[in-house]
Chains A and B, each alone.
Chain A
Amino acid sequence: MSNLGRLLGYLKPYRARVALAVLLMALVTASTLPMPRITQYVLDVVLPGKLYRMLNVVFWLIIGLYIFRGLVSFGLNYLLGWLGQRIVFDLRFQSYRHLNRLSLSYYDKRQTGKIMARVIDDINVIQYMITGGFVTLITDILTLFVVVPVVFHMEWRLAWIAIVIVPTYVLIYKLFLKRIRALSVQLREKWDALIGALQEKIAGITVVKAFNREEYEVERFMTTVKDNFTLGMTQAKLNRILGLFVTIISAGGTGLIYWYGAVLVLHRALQPGELIAFVGYIGYLYGPALRLVDFNIQAQWAGAAIDRVFETLDTRPEIMDAPDAASLPEMRGAVEFRDVSFGYDPEKPVLHHLNFAVEPGEMIAIVGPSGAGKTTVVNLIARFYDVTDGAVVIDGLDVRQIRLESIRRQIGYVSQESLLFSVTIRENIAYGHHDATDEEIVTAARNADLHDFIMSLPDGYSTKIGEDGVKLSVGQKQRLAIARATLTNPRILILDDATSALDSETEANVQAALEQVMKGRTNFVIAHRLSTIMHADRIIVMDGGRIVDIGRHDDLVQRPGVYKNLYDEQFRSAQDSALASILG
């Protein structure tokens, strides 16, 4: 319930509008009250007295009443619609801004689809509840407050009959509520599972097909759908039974009122019109009870949605600017690891006490077996994660003391997977530097040996990629990502296995171009192909989260160790055949 309170807090900036809405609600409620009285007046006074003139008055009265009601309810609904949309806007904006603040570790652990669902579906559910069920609930409560005195004033004996039934409602609700709630939670979970499974299997269709698992997948998917089916039916049954009870109680109550009311009329203790009006008012009383069944279901969904939205908003970003963080407008590019230890899960460290210092302008290669922690090292430089112990220092400053934005702006990071967006090639390259000129973009493309390919496309740089666009090979994507990184003119360039999918010839071209780009910057290169890294100023050799050696290629191959093994493995066959071709 505290989350509901928090949600209501979102209405605070719109206090005046909310107050106006409440006022309008009261007016709408008030406008429903005269109608039964008018009917009563017609029945008891106008018709028996044959007051033709009064009939005209009644006509205009009703018209006037409904015009008033129409104006007020138009204003109210417009206002509510505006408030609902505004809250959706605010919540979406806040969620998205917050998602952007959250560190990569948040994304590592979650499927994109589920994060999306929070920003879109959950917030929609909340909106429905606020502008739909919630407003009805308030109006109903307002009506109750007005109608109860009215009916007691009209005929207290009949009013008591109507009221006495209420506790049975409450009882029935209590009986059903728990089970319905539990079912809603289950249903939501099953639906999430269904979406998750679907997304995964459609995105991974290549594997499904490669292993001939189509039928198996259909069967598995259908079990999840079947679960949803069964739960959905159970919930529908419960709801219907509850609804049935509620209708029976209302019908019984109304019946009793008619019965006793008729007796009173026949004994001249009540006018016939009064009885009809009374029943009309009782409708206002029991109507909310019926609606509560629906609202209940809606509230269950909304409650879960509210919890999830706030859970996201409450997730603290692991990486945040310190309050006194300095900005570093011109980075020199000196990078130092001071006794750095790190684990994605603090229990399981993946880096142990790393120490090294890199001068501005150096090219550093990081090599080692997979799982050695190479990517983690560069991730720490870009501060995607914070060290568990020790410090990463750039230009003499702990990265935690520098504003994140000023670090990342000056780091060009090309990751293992080339993530591109579904926009034009030009926009993709210019992502890091939106106001780049066409020449700068072309130069960046040339640096990645991609210009000729782009020009061979009918639309050149304006070719859309991704969905509905042209399909790029993995190698082309990698080169596009490199072009994007070089365009920002970064002080530190990080290439994490960025050329793995290129054939040797293309890679050599890219390397040659990159050599120019790398000049004057600090460069970190992770690669498996040793030919890529042999000309690095220094090579950091990692194994099991530790630095096992640092040095130049020529020195490292001289001494036995991880690097020499790597080198030998990769070159043995080459050496063999080279020797063979020379000697033989």
Chain B
Amino acid sequence: MRNLVRLFHEVKRYWRVLSLIVFLTACTAGLGLPGPLIVRYLVDHLVAREPFPIHLFFLAYVGVSLASSIVGAALSLTVTYLGQQFKYDMRRKLYAHMQTLSLGFFEKSQTGKLMSNITNDVATLDQLISGGFVTLVSDLVTLCAVLVIVFNMNWYLALWSLSVFPLYIINYMLHIGRIKQRADEIREERDIMLGDLQERLAGALVVKSYAKERYEVRQFVGQNRNLLELNVNQGMLGTRLWTLAEFIGSGLGIAIIMLIGGRQVMAGNLSPGSLIAFVSFITGYLYGPILRLIQINDQIARTNAALTRIFGTLDTQPNIKDRPEAVELPTIQGEVEYRRVWFEYEPGQPVIKGVSLKVKPGQMVAFVGQSGSGKTTMINLLSRHYDVTDGAIIVDGHDIRDVKLSSLRRQVGVVIQETILFNTTIRENIRYGRLEASDEEVEEAARAANIAHVIEALPKGYDTRIGEEGVKLSGGEKQRIAIARAILSDPRILVLDEATSALDSETETLIQGALDRLMEGRTSFVIAHRLSTIVKADMIVVMEKGIIKEAGSHHELLEQGGVYAGLYTQQFKVALDQQRAEAEAQLGSAGAAATA
């Protein structure tokens, strides 16, 4: 119910369109009523063989039909307009709101579900508004008018015709519970099937690698067979309900009107034309509306689920928000300080435990550590995808929670582990870093990321589409485009999270040159597993289970002989052994030469 009130508030602002719709609905309902009365007039005169102005009758009949269909068309267009406008506004609201939500929200929700929020759920609401709502108004108007008319014509017959109603409603009530239950079951089963389908199609590579095609088809068939049975059963229940309803409404209803009404006519209490009008009023204008009014309850229930989901999304507060007094972060030098930072994704499970770290402008910091030690989290905190649980992160003397989010992110460039490119041209993908960049600047960035020669070798060059129906790029090529995109955005603080992991050493070296240039004069944070990438960092931060184990330059850390020294020897053992042997040989021969 609370959802409905909120929906009402959402719809309120269309009150102009809404009042027009109510007006037009009343008109259509009103224009529908004269039909049977006109026919009554005709029948009565014909049965009595009394001459009457036939051309006037013709004009009235055609005129009423015409007017009713014109108003009907206007109504239906207005309703469509309202529906479209509502969907447009609602989708905008939802999508815009989702954009403000923090990364944590998206990590917890499946893309498909968020999408169906914007597409299907909104469409369901529209059905209630432009379907249920409009029929509700027109049904109410029709119902009242018809009741007045039929009771006026002959109250005795009217009562008799209404006598089948209890049966009608009982029939509906008996079925609807089971139908609804079946519908829930179908929805559940369908959701499972959809989820699995999406995953198996996206994971086609795995299915094929393990030759599991037949197994997957069998699973799918199993799920679909369940669905088939549920659907057939549901269809049977529905058919039974409506068949019985038609029998009660049309069959029993008409039979009673003919019997009772016939007697009334013979007794002279009713004209033959009225009898005909009665039949069309009761069957055409009474049973339908009453049933729909009962059903609206059901429709609302169905919409309720969609409403809950939509409002649920709209009510999700972004974890990260600009404070009211947040200021624009001026162009920064790039001094970063982690001040006793604590952070937990889930309460009670800290992943960063009181880390303090000071980085001078222009320094390069490398995070090293096992997977799960908190490296990526450190970086996510800096670009404020999450807020620290305790402590603070200070950039150029500003606590990042006190500045506008957009002004912070504009100055922090991030290249992440999983390369995400969009389904458009290469040029547009690079330009995403800075929308107002000129073509030359885009190409410049591509050159700097060492991808220009690959792009230029393509038949359409920068205008080649990537992704679906486009060219297939290797993992390394994609990553270099992502780097070009970051280069173009020209950030003050640069973050590279495993940005070069998919590159071979040679390409990495080439890019590294570009990155070195890019990092010059900027503060940069790098996460990489390949130590060769890291050794030249100004500061290497070794993380372990959320704390800083060691920090210092490559040489300092080697001398300490701690975790880093261990990692380092591990990776380069063979090379070191070889090198040591050679060096020793050299020293040995030098020594030998010296002694000689």
Residues of chain B within 8 A of A562, CB atoms compared? 506
Binds A, one of B16-24, B177-185, B250-258, B388-396: B250-258
- Nearest CB on B from A169, distance (A): 15
A405 within 8 A of B: yes
- Also in contact, A218 and B409, with CB within 8 A (given A247-B69, A575-B575): no
A356 within 8 A of B: no
Binds B, one of A10-18, A153-161, A334-342, A411-419: A411-419
Q: Mark B334-353, 1 if CB is under 8 A from A, else 0.
A: 00000000000000000000
B107 to A, closest residue via Cβ: A471
- Nearest CB on B from A76, distance (A): 9
B26 within 8 A of A: no
A582 to B, closest residue via Cβ: B583
User: Which chain A residues (15-63) contact chain B, with CB distance < 8 Å?
Assistant: 35, 38-39, 42-43, 46-48, 50, 52, 55-56, 58-60, 62-63
- Nearest CB on B from A303, distance (A): 22
User: Which chain A residues (249-276) contact chain B, with CB distance < 8 Å?
Assistant: 250-252, 254-256, 258-259, 262-263, 265-266, 268, 272, 275-276
Is B505 in contact with A503, judged by CB distance below 8 angstroms? no
B498 to A, closest residue via Cβ: A501
Is B255 in contact with A203, judged by CB distance below 8 angstroms? no
A101 to B215 Cα, complex, angstroms: 12
Q: Which of A104, A203, A256 has the most CB of B within 10 A?
A: A203
Is B423 in contact with A200, judged by CB distance below 8 angstroms? yes
Residues of chain A within 8 A of B236, CB atoms compared? 78, 81
User: Which chain B residues (552-596) contact chain A, with CB distance < 8 Å?
Assistant: 554-555, 558, 566-568, 570-576, 579-580, 583-584, 587
A66 to B253 Cα, complex, angstroms: 11
A185 within 8 A of B: no
Is A109 in contact with B469, judged by CB distance below 8 angstroms? yes
Is B469 in contact with A55, judged by CB distance below 8 angstroms? no
A195 to B117 Cα, complex, angstroms: 12
Binds A, one of B4-12, B146-154, B194-202, B323-331: B194-202
A216 to B65 Cα, complex, angstroms: 50
Interface residue range, chain A: 35 or more
B387 within 8 A of A: no
Residues of chain B within 8 A of A504, CB atoms compared? 529, 531, 567, 570-571
A497 within 8 A of B: yes
A141 within 8 A of B: no
Is A502 in contact with B529, judged by CB distance below 8 angstroms? yes
A497 to B385 Cα, complex, angstroms: 29
Is B501 in contact with A501, judged by CB distance below 8 angstroms? yes
Residues of chain B within 8 A of A250, CB atoms compared? 65
Of B92, B205, B246, the contact of A419 (CB 8 Å cutoff): B205
Residues of chain B within 8 A of A92, CB atoms compared? 220, 224
B91 within 8 A of A: yes
A257 to B124 Cα, complex, angstroms: 43
Residues of chain B within 8 A of A528, CB atoms compared? 501-505, 508, 530
Of A42, A207, A408, A476, the contact of B258 (CB 8 Å cutoff): A42
B213 within 8 A of A: yes
User: Which chain B residues (239-265) contact chain A, with CB distance < 8 Å?
Assistant: 239-240, 242-244, 246-247, 250-252, 254-256, 258-259, 262-263, 265
B333 within 8 A of A: no
Of A66, A112, A208, A259, the contact of B54 (CB 8 Å cutoff): A259
User: Which chain A residues (81-111) contact chain B, with CB distance < 8 Å?
Assistant: 81-82, 85-86, 88-89, 92-93, 96-97, 99-101, 104, 107-111
A207 to B, closest residue via Cβ: B420
Q: SS class of chain A's interface: helix, strand, loop or mixed? A: helix
Of A50, A88, A217, the contact of B99 (CB 8 Å cutoff): A217
Is B115 in contact with A199, judged by CB distance below 8 angstroms? yes
- Also in contact, A211 and B433, with CB within 8 A (given A89-B224, A371-B477): yes
- Nearest CB on A from B239, distance (A): 4
A300 within 8 A of B: no
Is A258 in contact with B210, judged by CB distance below 8 angstroms? no
Q: SS class of chain B's interface: helix, strand, loop or mixed? A: helix
Is A259 in contact with B55, judged by CB distance below 8 angstroms? yes
Interface residue range, chain B: 35 or more
A322 within 8 A of B: no
B311 within 8 A of A: no
Is B43 in contact with A97, judged by CB distance below 8 angstroms? no
A344 to B43 Cα, complex, angstroms: 78
User: Which chain A residues (220-234) contact chain B, with CB distance < 8 Å?
Assistant: 221-222, 225-226, 229, 232-233
Residues of chain A within 8 A of B187, CB atoms compared? none
- Also in contact, A100 and B119, with CB within 8 A (given A210-B409, A419-B206): no
Is A214 in contact with B100, judged by CB distance below 8 angstroms? yes
A244 within 8 A of B: yes
Binds A, one of B75-83, B137-145, B155-163, B286-294: B75-83
A506 to B416 Cα, complex, angstroms: 21
B476 to A, closest residue via Cβ: A370
B67 to A, closest residue via Cβ: A251
Is B61 in contact with A266, judged by CB distance below 8 angstroms? no
- Nearest CB on B from A53, distance (A): 11
- Nearest CB on A from B294, distance (A): 20
Is A503 in contact with B529, judged by CB distance below 8 angstroms? yes
Of B62, B100, B212, B532, the contact of A570 (CB 8 Å cutoff): B532
Is B208 in contact with A384, judged by CB distance below 8 angstroms? yes
- Also in contact, A89 and B251, with CB within 8 A (given A209-B103, A573-B535): no
Residues of chain B within 8 A of A519, CB atoms compared? none
Of B88, B201, B422, the contact of A200 (CB 8 Å cutoff): B422
Residues of chain B within 8 A of A251, CB atoms compared? 61-62, 65-66, 69
B414 to A, closest residue via Cβ: A210
Is A566 in contact with B572, judged by CB distance below 8 angstroms? no
Of A211, A434, A579, the contact of B583 (CB 8 Å cutoff): A579
Residues of chain A within 8 A of B558, CB atoms compared? 577, 581
- Also in contact, A226 and B88, with CB within 8 A (given A419-B205, A504-B531): yes
Is B432 in contact with A213, judged by CB distance below 8 angstroms? yes
A421 within 8 A of B: yes
A154 to B151 Cα, complex, angstroms: 35
Is B210 in contact with A431, judged by CB distance below 8 angstroms? yes
Is A233 in contact with B81, judged by CB distance below 8 angstroms? yes
Q: Which of A63, A225, A272, A473 has the most CB of B within 10 A?
A: A272
B209 within 8 A of A: yes
B51 within 8 A of A: yes
A554 to B115 Cα, complex, angstroms: 54
User: Which chain A residues (334-389) contact chain B, with CB distance < 8 Å?
Assistant: 344, 367-372, 375, 382, 384
Q: Mark A447-487, 1 if CB is under 8 A from B, else 0.
A: 00000000000000000001100010111100000000000
Of A222, A369, A422, the contact of B506 (CB 8 Å cutoff): A369
B433 to A, closest residue via Cβ: A211
Is A52 in contact with B266, judged by CB distance below 8 angstroms? yes
Is B211 in contact with A99, judged by CB distance below 8 angstroms? no
A39 to B47 Cα, complex, angstroms: 14
Is B61 in contact with A255, judged by CB distance below 8 angstroms? yes
Of A70, A89, A408, A431, the contact of B228 (CB 8 Å cutoff): A89
- Nearest CB on B from A476, distance (A): 6
Is A209 in contact with B532, judged by CB distance below 8 angstroms? no
- Also in contact, A571 and B572, with CB within 8 A (given A56-B259, A108-B472): yes
- Also in contact, A382 and B57, with CB within 8 A (given A206-B103, A528-B503): no
Task: Please give 9 more A-B residue pairs, beta carbons under 8 A apart, in addition to A116-B198, A244-B73.
Answer: A62-B258, A93-B221, A212-B409, A262-B52, A275-B46, A474-B498, A531-B572, A571-B532, A574-B532
- A–B Cβ pairs within 8 angstroms, 25 of them: A47-B266, A55-B263, A59-B258, A113-B115, A206-B416, A218-B99, A225-B91, A233-B81, A258-B42, A266-B46, A266-B51, A272-B46, A375-B474, A431-B212, A474-B498, A500-B502, A529-B571, A530-B505, A566-B504, A569-B505, A569-B506, A574-B535, A574-B571, A577-B558, A578-B580
For the complex of A and B, list the 5 residue pairs with the smallest distance between their C-beta atoms, beginning with the closest.
A370-B476, A66-B251, A81-B235, A251-B65, A475-B371
